[in-house]
Chain A
Amino acid sequence: MEVLYFMVPLALAFAGVAVVSFIWAVKNGQYDDMTTPAHRLLVEDNDKSGKKD
């Protein structure tokens, strides 16, 4: 069971990475608009011209 002394901090480190990624995603504006992408589905874009950010 001593392995837990290593595993638990490792697991928590992973959790930390997840939290940091989450904060990055929020600051990057990915959670700003949760409704418009649903409408975007209706538009099948044949021409991929125009830069989509």
Chain B
Amino acid sequence: MNPNNATDVRTSNVSSKLNATDSPEKHKVCAHCASPLNSESLFSGDNNFCCQGCQTVYHLLRTDGYARYYELLADSGKSGGRLDSASLQQDSSDPLRWVSTDECGLLSLYVPGMSCAACIWLLEHTVLREPGVVSARVNLEQRTILMKIDTDSNQSEVIRSTIRKLQSYGYPPAPLARKLKSQNHQTRKDLVNLGIAGAAFGNVMLLATSIYFGDVWGIDAGMARFFNWWSFSIATACLVWPGRIFFQHALLALKSWSLHIDLPIAIALSVAWVTSVYALCTGGALFYFDSITGLVFLLLLGRYVNARIVERAKNLSGAVNGLLPPESADCRPGDIVTVKVGQNFPADGTIADGKTTVDEAALTGESRPILKVSGDKVLGGSRNLSGAVTLTVDAAGESTWIRQLEHRIDEASRGRSHIKTLTEKLLPWFTCGTMLLTIVAGLLWWPSGSAKAVEVMCVVLIVSCPCAIALAAPLSMTIAFRRAWEHGVIIKNHDCLERLATIDSIVLDKTGTLTKGNPSVKSCKIMGLAEPTPDDLALACSVLSKSLHPVARGIATWLKEKLPEHFRTDWPFINVEEFAGEGMIAECADRTVIAGKGKWVADFLALKKWNHSVGSILEDGDEGSSCLVCVLRTEGSELREKTPTTLLFNLHDNIHEDCGFAMKGLLQKFNIWLLSGDRRVSCVAVANAVGIAQENVISTATPEAKLAFIRSLSDAGRKTMMVGDGINDAPALAAATVGVAVKGGVDIALSSADVFLTKPGLARIAELIDFARYTRHTLVLLLITSTAYNLVAVSLALLGILHPGIAALIMPLASLTVLTLANVRTGEHLWKSSTLWCPLPSRLQESQS
């Protein structure tokens, strides 16, 4: 027990934590997760821990021989994940419910907690050590472990023991989204097609180049025919295997009478093939096999790159575990379930026995814990804060409120009206233009003979293939996505950038988006006559940090900062009792601390007959919460003195620092609304602080109300951007023109949103919209450029002087120009508030920042 170790632990940014691990400051932070130590910390010799969880994992890893984990962590510049005892509790459900092997004994475990090289090392070695495991391989991007289990062993047992082991190390596996498997499958198919197209393109170009040089310098006719036959075989193979997708899409488009960009592409490819085969059979000179393979390869390349970046962004949103713990699948209405402190309620139900406070912030947006007693209803997915209770299940599984909400989100996103992308708008014009020019070509050349006319018409159709146009949108999107990614903005959908450019209204959530979500002390007033001694304050601080209530923790943090040198963990507490939602009382040998709502404290003191003048007690009419803390000198049940130390704390939720500045810019360009589930008073206070007009503030909104509001704005013709972070925002996020989830958002908000911001604050939003507009300009530029190339080629064709070799060159040239232009217009100057950032984020919801 060494209290001096806890001095000066105000460091809270990551860099100083990193330095801490290899300097004398090492003792000031937790040896496992590098969080600053507090009065709850455990001190034991030369290793200190912030909590029981970290200590358990640390010793477990050491005794199992994984001490190297910490060296590797230091090398990677990371630290272990923050663990509290609740997350280490063994999951009582059977993990086999959501995980199983396939016939070869292969199994993928999704472990969202992994983040770096140290995790890879630890996880692979841990899983390999389990008896029955043949191999284990970590995929950091998808955050899965692919393991192979010996088919002779008892597979269920192996799975169970592996999962238990991982849970005990603080890397609990979670159910894997089914879509990841099919994603891998699709990626492989795309890659195979691309490889074949690339090989075909390269080889046909080699043969074609020989023939073109031969046209200039002379080539044996037999040799030329030989080369042409080989080109024919390769190009045909290219069309029927990798290229078949264009024909499939074109046929689908024809069947449904709609226009798809693959239709002109398929036409161009077919005409090119037929022309070339005709020339082959009749000894003509028009061979377009090189153009065919070039087109197929370039187009597939563009699509492949685009698909990968969109997939990558989607993977980051993780499997939608929801807040329901795995055992919720076992619950049936009428079951009696015990829910411990720190756990989430597995189903909607009624409390049968016990009393507690629950945190519904992620579900309803209510920032303060709610008292629940016997007979009250609780929602599945809310967190149990202060006391174990037994629950009678009313609705479980799919009928829970949260699942119903997820269904509503799906509906909302499907119902969102589709904004035509620029390419889609251009396409009908393009196709008509092509048809028109073909007819003109035919008419122009008819007098010279029907053969020549047909030839020119074919050439026009071939070179009007919208290859560069088809590439322009995916390329510019891909490059823009990457740029945004580097600045901490992750975009998930193709057309999202185009939608962003049209935004005219922004709807902001309050808690977590504008504010930080942790109440902190705004003012502290000393009531009564007694001057508080530091010792009393340290005692109060220690008492308050025992509570899970955000208000108590806020006060404890504040007190800690004010008086760091008075920390002690050896207060001789006789009794500590928390009254859910009201307050708490702690008795020492010589003092008693009472903290809580003003009225409750007064009632309690009256009950104990420790009446004294506590002065006028403010009610919760304020914009934040208020809390009264009394420290009384007592002995047993007798009051030793008449004037106790009494402090009145006023807390509020902090607004992000850059909000004021960012809001000024946003208010000038857009209509801004504040939409929150919290009380009117809090909402208006925050709105006033950032500059949103009072009539644009909507409070106490349920998720349905939020959704309805967004819909009303859409109906009025506005293009809305919804910014939020909690579950109660999710349907609104899905229904808005663009949904933006902010850092720290729950999984369901992340997966129903189109964009997520990995850094807190609003500055990104303004920059993002500017960037989207800039990208739109880039796209217009690219489309103009590619159309220009097509026009030049068609003009040459109309004049009858287009050599097949030139045609084969123009396509790649146009694509290259488009690519260069897209890369040159980076839009870097628009991201003023940030610096470049690591492309592979470790975790979206980092516990340290």
Contact = CB atoms under 8 A, between A and B. Distances in A.
Interface of A: 1, 4-5, 8-9, 12, 15, 18-19, 22-23, 26-27, 29, 31-33, 35-36, 39-43, 50-53
A39 to B, nearest CB: 4
Given A26-B188, A35-B140, A43 B134 contact: no
Interface stretch (B223-231, B288-296, B576-584, B692-700): B223-231
A43 B72 contact: yes
A34 to B, nearest CB: 8
Nearest to B122: A43
Contacts of B424: none
A29 B146 CA distance: 11
B90 interface: no
B203 A15 contact: yes
Contacts of B128: 50-51
A50 B124 contact: yes
Interface in B121-159: 121, 124-125, 128-129, 134-135, 137-142, 148
B195 A50 contact: no
B840 interface: yes
Given A19-B195, A26-B188, A51-B128, A42 B141 contact: no
A36 B141 contact: yes
Given A18-B199, A36-B141, A42-B75, A4 B223 contact: yes
A19 B196 contact: yes
B227 A8 contact: yes
A39 B73 CA distance: 12
23 contacts: A1-B220, A5-B223, A9-B230, A12-B230, A15-B203, A18-B199, A19-B196, A22-B195, A23-B192, A26-B188, A27-B192, A31-B191, A32-B187, A33-B140, A33-B141, A35-B140, A36-B141, A42-B72, A42-B76, A42-B117, A43-B117, A50-B129, A53-B134
Interface in B71-101: 72, 75-76
Give me the 9 closest cross-chain CB pairs, A-B, nearest first: A53-B135, A42-B117, A50-B128, A36-B140, A39-B117, A33-B139, A22-B195, A43-B121, A19-B199
Contact of A39 (B140, B191, B227): B140
Interface residues on B, range: 35 or more
Contacts of A8: 207, 226-227, 230
Nearest to A51: B135
A19 B142 CA distance: 28
A10 B199 CA distance: 15
B220 A36 contact: no
A6 B118 CA distance: 55
A25 B456 CA distance: 44
Interface of B: 72, 75-76, 116-118, 120-121, 124-125, 128-129, 134-135, 137-142, 148, 184, 187-188, 191-192, 195-196, 199, 202-203, 207, 220, 223, 226-227, 230, 234, 840
Contacts of A22: 192, 195, 199
Contacts of B230: 8-9, 12
A40 B125 CA distance: 13
B120 A40 contact: yes
Contact of A35 (B75, B141, B207, B223): B141
Contacts of A41: 117
Given A15-B202, A26-B195, 19 more contacts: A1-B223, A5-B223, A8-B227, A8-B230, A12-B234, A15-B203, A26-B191, A29-B188, A31-B188, A31-B191, A33-B142, A36-B138, A36-B139, A39-B120, A40-B120, A43-B118, A43-B120, A43-B121, A53-B134
Contacts of A32: 139, 184, 187-188
A41 B118 CA distance: 11
Contacts of B840: 35
Contacts of B148: 53
B199 A15 contact: yes
B808 to A, nearest CB: 19
A12 B141 contact: no
A36 B143 CA distance: 10
